[in-house]
Amino acid sequence: MLRILVAVALVSLVGSSTIPREKHRDPAALHLPSEDQAWAEKTLASLSLEEKVGQLFMVRMRVGLSGVRNPEYERISNSIRKYHIGSVAMSASPGARLLPSDHRYETVVMLNRLQTESKLPLLIAGDFEQGVLPARLFGTTVFPHAMAFGAAGKAAYAEEFGRITAQESRAIGVHWNLFPVADVNSNPANPIIGTRAFGANPEQVGALVAAYIRGARANGMLTTAKHFPGHGNTGTDSHLALARVDESARVLRTVDLPPFRKAIDAGVDAVMTAHIRVPALDPDPNLVATTSPAIVTGLLKGELGFKGIVVTDGLDMAGLTRLYAGHVGRAAVDAFKAGNDVLTMPADLDASYHAVLDAVRTGEISQQRLDASVLKILQAKASVGLHKVRLVDVAAIPKLVGSPANVATGQRISDASITLVRDNGKLLPLRSGAMVKNAALHQAGGPDPRPVLVVVLCDNVRAEDGRVLEREIRTRMPDANVVYVDPRVAPSRTDGVLKAVDQARAVVVAVYIVPSAARSRKLGRGGKHPASLPDSTSALFEKILGRAGEKTAVLAMGNPYLTDDFPAIQNYICTFSNVTVSEVSAARALFGEIPMSGRMPVTLSSARAQAEGSSLSAPVANVTLP
């Protein structure tokens, strides 16, 4: 069977919040060749009401499960058939990264099979924020998180990011990236945006967003700017609770909206709406941006002039579902009425589908409005050639993804992003031999025989954080002592770690904090803010700095704001990401093999910087794009 399958291979805003109407380039999907446009229109005319409603929905497909005939495949296949689904969003299961190589392309075989079974071609989407994920499943190129591109500061890098991700995505049968993030991460305590954003400077964020869009769209990929009207200045994860942005209309207009304008100018195909309350744009306490006609239709479509696809963030997120506890299907109706075209991952597909269907039948949603959205979706499918070719050649994938040149590009960009924030001049770079840089830190009488200690502070010692970093450090320093600590084991390991700190000639502390809904859930239950270190590992970190700060180098493998919570850090390197290329770059930087030429794309605590006489960050206004 596998061989056979492979072969088949707003209401307008008023007063000070009004944004002048601008002329923007429409998405390419609205300028189709006549034959492609004719297909979209003919197909629309052939669909039943039930099929039209089904085209609005995007459902999740967990990838990385072995075997075509598995429960996940059966679930998604049945949903497509029963509800006439229009789009599928790939997401990786935890086990996806552990599959043996001979199962590598089974997901692509599944996609081909789904395409074959579906009456209409399926738009396949992916949330590919660091390139095509999971990279180990598909053998694709790895890129660091978006904030690393802000540190590297070159639009050309973002364009390459878009180009390579598009080429490799299309090779595995994915047509639509739910990226780039156009949010401006102006709140250091943001638990879910953080390093997923390019930075805190609206001008720089907009330039990188536009560059990514250009590179991706030129190589056949649909793109999505998210999370409109801006999720950067909130301290709440909308996956878990109702988030709120309490900015004035003036701040929203000057900080949050400009990157979305840039995205629209660059021809972005879709804009994703956020489940956040924005009182300055819509004071109704029962509406989030996703369900607000003022924000979606009035602002995005009316004032900003966006003509492409408007797609919701996941309708199963608690930031929305808590408002619809008594009627979860109603969220889809309200989102569609607000102006969204694609309804993503509803909490209850059956209830949501029938709620929209009933709303059309009763006239609450007009047939004209439904047809307009379905036509956009069909045009998008035609724009990527799905009406002509649905399947991908599985045998060709190894030639099209993860080429040495592409892999080298991902590593080069990561290297260019490494940022030296603090350096006491006594430790860096580390030497691969038996000595550290400064003689004052050595034992008297010659080279110091004590090992270098590497402490990896992570959320789970069984996860992959730190493994590549350990390998890279041991390649250069075989006698390095590497210890992994997570919140669960920190209390029992603290005494042993501190003893090793005292005995080490130098200490490297690698701190892994990257935003995710899973991290928010885990830390939120313990009362700790998800953008910070948990209490037990935080206490250990404080003790290490207190007794060995002078000989300790701190690697921020993700969140760059550590110095705001730990001002005693003397040697501080930011990678802005925890992916493999960032770990390689971190090791190269530690040993002086690459220049640390990145500049901070966000602002750290200026008050503490001034108090300590240290330059914690380049002001975002000074970060330029060559």
**CATH number of the domain where residue 429 is located:** 3.40.50.1700
Q: Is a pLDDT exceeding 60 seen at residue 88?
A: yes
Q: Which residue has the tokens 């649905």?
A: 390
Residues 190 and 303 grouped into a single domain: yes
| Domain span holding position 478 | 418-622
**Average pLDDT of 85-112?**
75
Residues 169 and 275 grouped into a single domain: yes
488 band by pLDDT with thresholds 50, 70 and 90: very high
Name residue 305's beta-bridge partners: none
Residues 525 and 396 grouped into a single domain: no
Residues 499-542: tens digit of each pLDDT: 999 999 999 999 999 988 777 777 766 667 778 899 999 999 99
Q: Is residue 63 part of a domain?
A: no
CATH of the domain at 375: 3.20.20.300
At residue 118, the pLDDT reads: 97
Are the CB atoms for 262 and 204 separated by under 8 Å?
no
Q: Is residue 60 part of a domain?
A: no
| Token pair in block for residue 151 | 């540190």
Q: Is residue 505 part of a domain?
A: yes
Q: Is residue 367 part of a domain?
A: yes
64 band by pLDDT with thresholds 50, 70 and 90: low
- Work out the percent of the chain whose per-residue pLDDT is above 70: 85
At residue 527, the pLDDT reads: 61
Which of 278-287, 519-528, 573-582, 589-598 has the weakest average pLDDT?
519-528
Q: Is a pLDDT exceeding 70 seen at residue 543?
A: yes
**Average pLDDT of 13-38?**
54
Q: What is the pLDDT of the chain when averaged over all its residues?
A: 88
Are the CB atoms for 213 and 263 separated by under 8 Å?
yes
How far CA 399 is from CA of 112, 140, 396, in Å, comes to: 18, 11, 6
- Among residues 373, 406, 439, which one ends one of the domains? 406
Q: In what order do the strands lie in the sheet with 270-273?
A: 224-228, 270-273, 309-312
How far CA 357 is from CA of 341, 352, 364, in Å, comes to: 14, 9, 10
- As to burial, measured by CB atoms within 10 angstroms (0-12 exposed, 13-18 middle, 19+ buried), residue 418 is buried
At residue 189, the pLDDT reads: 87
Residues 147-156: tens digit of each pLDDT: 999 999 999 9
Q: Is residue 413 part of a domain?
A: no
Q: What is the DSSP string of 267-323?
A: T-SEEEE-SEE-TTT---TT--GGG-HIIIIIIIIIIS---SEEEESPTTSHHHHGG
Instruction: Count Cβ neighbours within 10 Å for each residue of 380-412 and write b for 16 or more, e otherwise.
Output: bbbbbebbeebbbbbeebeebbbbeebbebbbb
Please pick, among 183, 237, 256, 313, the residue that the annotation labels catalytic.
313
**Average pLDDT of 264-281?**
97
Residues 436 and 374 grouped into a single domain: no
Question: How far is it, in rounded angstroms, from Cα 391 to Cα 506?
Answer: 54
Q: Look up 348 and say whether it is catalytic.
A: no
Q: Is residue 111 part of a domain?
A: no
Residues 152-187: tens digit of each pLDDT: 999 999 999 999 999 999 999 999 999 999 999 999
Residues 531 and 441 grouped into a single domain: yes
Are the CB atoms for 455 and 497 separated by under 8 Å?
yes
Angle between helices 490-503 and 535-548 (to 10 degrees): 10
SS (H, E, C) 45-83: HHCCHHHHHHHCEEEEEEECCCCCCCHHHHHHHHHHHHH
At residue 30, the pLDDT reads: 56
133 band by pLDDT with thresholds 50, 70 and 90: confident
Residues 459 and 374 grouped into a single domain: no
Question: How far is it, in rounded angstroms, from Cα 560 to Cα 598?
Answer: 12
At residue 1, the pLDDT reads: 37
Q: Could you tell me where the beta strands, DSSP code E, fall in 408-474?
A: 419-422, 452-457
Residues 448 and 593 grouped into a single domain: yes
Question: How far is it, in rounded angstroms, from Cα 314 to Cα 318?
Answer: 9
98 band by pLDDT with thresholds 50, 70 and 90: very low
Residues 184 and 100 grouped into a single domain: yes
Q: Is a pLDDT exceeding 70 seen at residue 613?
A: no
Please pick, among 239, 269, 448, 459, the residue that the annotation labels catalytic.
239
How far CA 350 is from CA of 97, 329, 360, in Å, comes to: 31, 8, 16
Q: Look up 564 and say whether it is catalytic.
A: no
Are the CB atoms for 185 and 197 separated by under 8 Å?
yes
Q: Is residue 411 part of a domain?
A: no
| Token pair in block for residue 173 | 């049968």
- Among residues 406, 431, 446, which one ends one of the domains? 406
- Work out the percent of the chain whose per-residue pLDDT is above 90: 75
Phi and psi (nearest 5°) for 2? -60, -40
At residue 572, the pLDDT reads: 98
Question: How far is it, in rounded angstroms, from Cα 181 to Cα 197?
Answer: 6
Question: How far is it, in rounded angstroms, from Cα 325 to Cα 307?
Answer: 32
Q: Is a pLDDT exceeding 90 seen at residue 415?
A: yes
- Nearest to residue 598, comparing CAs of 61, 132, 149? 149
Residues 479 and 388 grouped into a single domain: no
Are the CB atoms for 152 and 146 separated by under 8 Å?
no
How many domains does the chain fold into? 2
- Among residues 379, 406, 433, which one ends one of the domains? 406
> What pTM value is reported for the model?
0.90
452 band by pLDDT with thresholds 50, 70 and 90: very high
Residues 37-60: tens digit of each pLDDT: 999 999 999 999 999 999 999 999
At residue 4, the pLDDT reads: 35
| Token pair in block for residue 291 | 């369900």
- Nearest to residue 143, comparing CAs of 466, 582, 560? 582
Task: Name the more confident of 330 and 7.
Answer: 330
DSSP 613: T
At residue 329, the pLDDT reads: 95
Question: How far is it, in rounded angstroms, from Cα 258 to Cα 278?
Answer: 16
Please calculate the CA angle 227-130-335 and round it to the nearest 5 degrees: 25
Q: How many residues appear in the chain?
A: 626
Residues 208 and 341 grouped into a single domain: yes
Residues 544-560: tens digit of each pLDDT: 999 999 999 999 999 99
- Nearest to residue 581, comparing CAs of 154, 161, 144, 163? 144
Residues 479 and 379 grouped into a single domain: no
Residues 381 and 422 grouped into a single domain: no
Which of 75-89, 218-232, 236-250, 366-380 has the weakest average pLDDT?
236-250
- As to burial, measured by CB atoms within 10 angstroms (0-12 exposed, 13-18 middle, 19+ buried), residue 165 is buried
Residues 344-394: tens digit of each pLDDT: 999 999 999 999 999 999 999 999 999 999 999 999 999 999 999 999 999
